[in-house]
Amino acid sequence: MAELFGVVIPLFAIILCGFLAGRFSLLSFESTTALNNFVYYFSLPALLFLSISTAPVEQLLDWNFILLNICIVSTMFVFSMFIFRFVFKKTFPELSLYGMITTYGNTGFLGIPLLITAFGQAAAIPAAIINFVYDVLIISFIIISIELVKSRKSHKKNSPINLLQLIVKSIFLNPINASLILGVLVALTSIPVPQPVYVFTEILSPAAGPTALFALGLGLSGERNVLKNKNYQFSELMTLVVLKLIALPLLAIFYIYFVIQPENAMWAKSVILLSAVPTGALVYVFAEKYNTMAKQVPLYILITTVLSIFTIAFVLIFL
């Protein structure tokens, strides 16, 4: 119970504060975008750069840990597609989105701040590696599979160069992964970084966690209209919830304790906790971009976010 009151309650108290701020109009729902942009473009990249650039090189190149995460996300992605292909009779490109919903978590706005708040700034290193591996695998598969389906239907072949450009733009040209790559380059090459840069990141970094959690609560306060969405099947929704919030953490636990055992216990806990976070908002970006399940995905994201309050609390107590 000490962990419950020491970590879980304060974390969700911040989310509750954000929700109440929106519910009683202390802050407008539109403020969520400004807070999220602050975290996404400034505070979180600063935190990741600071943590990665000062980390030992052997930690950044822990191939055993990277392989662990590749196995987890690949297994769940394929399993989800199998379920929705043979149980719900779905086809591409919907199958790709279902796989993404069950594997792509809200690591940037919830997972990484949650880890750092729970385990300290050292948790930023495994969190960044996990986030990057998931981005590379999931986004690459989504773009390649959907673009190939589009090409086949339109009888216009999409060149490998165009696909590569889409993948590079989606994965590497976002602030979180860009800060990660820059931090890795600094760590590997031992490039001297001016002291003011480190001071800047040290001042900005601590704001990432509480701001992201507060923004999450504020965002939830304005999403009540999403619940009125009727463009979904309840059986599909519950299957997605079970796969994302229950099956994926259990799969992570299986791989960690029975297949690939990380040497660092905190890194192992990071994998399990990040597997329990809700579906990330980037799924909606791809749903809208490719005009696939654009009406259903916002509801799936909201439901997994609300229910993850309980699953994350359970995982934190378990860890």
Can you tell me the distance from the alpha carbon of 306 to that of 106, in angstroms, rounded to the nearest whole number?
12
Q: Is pLDDT of 242 > 70? A: yes
Q: Which residues pair with 105 in a beta bridge?
A: 279
Can you tell me the distance from the alpha carbon of 35 to that of 21, in angstroms, rounded to the nearest whole number?
13
pLDDT at 303: 85
The angle subtended at Cα 236 by Cα 232 and Cα 242, nearest 5°, is 130
pLDDT at 186: 86
pLDDT tens digits, one per residue of 111-157: 887 888 778 778 888 888 888 888 888 878 887 777 776 666 655 56
Q: Is pLDDT of 169 > 90? A: no
- Say if CB 147 and CB 159 are below 8 A apart: no
**pLDDT grade, residue 231 (50/70/90)?**
low
Query: What's the mean pLDDT when you consider all of the chain?
Result: 81
Give the gyration radius of the chain's Cα atoms.
19
Which of 36-40, 206-210, 216-220, 226-230 comes out lowest in average pLDDT?
Answer: 226-230
Residue 29 class from Cβ within 10 Å (0-12 exposed, 13-18 middle, 19+ buried)?
A: middle
Can you tell me the distance from the alpha carbon of 318 to that of 140, in angstroms, rounded to the nearest whole number?
33
- Say if CB 207 and CB 43 are below 8 A apart: yes
Collapse the DSSP code of 279 into the 3-class scheme (helix H, G, I; strand E, B; otherwise coil) and give the result.
Answer: strand
pLDDT at 1: 46
Name the one residue in this structure whose structure tokens are 């978590």. Answer: 105
The residue ranking higher by pLDDT, 86 or 52, is 86
**pLDDT grade, residue 68 (50/70/90)?**
very high
pLDDT at 241: 92
pLDDT at 239: 93
Domains, the chain: 2-318 (1.20.1530)
pLDDT at 117: 76
Nearest to 270 by CA among 153, 85, 154, 125: 125
Can you tell me the distance from the alpha carbon of 57 to that of 180, in angstroms, rounded to the nearest whole number?
13
pLDDT at 151: 65
Can you tell me the distance from the alpha carbon of 73 to that of 70, in angstroms, rounded to the nearest whole number?
6
Q: What is the mean pLDDT of residues 253-272?
A: 88
Task: Centre a 10 Å sphere on the Cβ of residue 162 and count the other Cβ atoms it contains.
Answer: 12
Residue 311 tokens read as 């699953």
Which of 170-179, 182-191, 256-265, 268-277 comes out lowest in average pLDDT?
Answer: 170-179
- Say if CB 232 and CB 287 are below 8 A apart: no
The residue ranking higher by pLDDT, 319 or 56, is 56
The residue ranking higher by pLDDT, 228 or 196, is 196
The residue ranking higher by pLDDT, 169 or 79, is 79
Q: Is pLDDT of 71 > 90? A: yes
As a whole number of angstroms, the longest Cα–Cα distance in the chain is 61
pLDDT at 289: 74
Nearest to 213 by CA among 310, 132, 115: 115
**pLDDT grade, residue 2 (50/70/90)?**
low
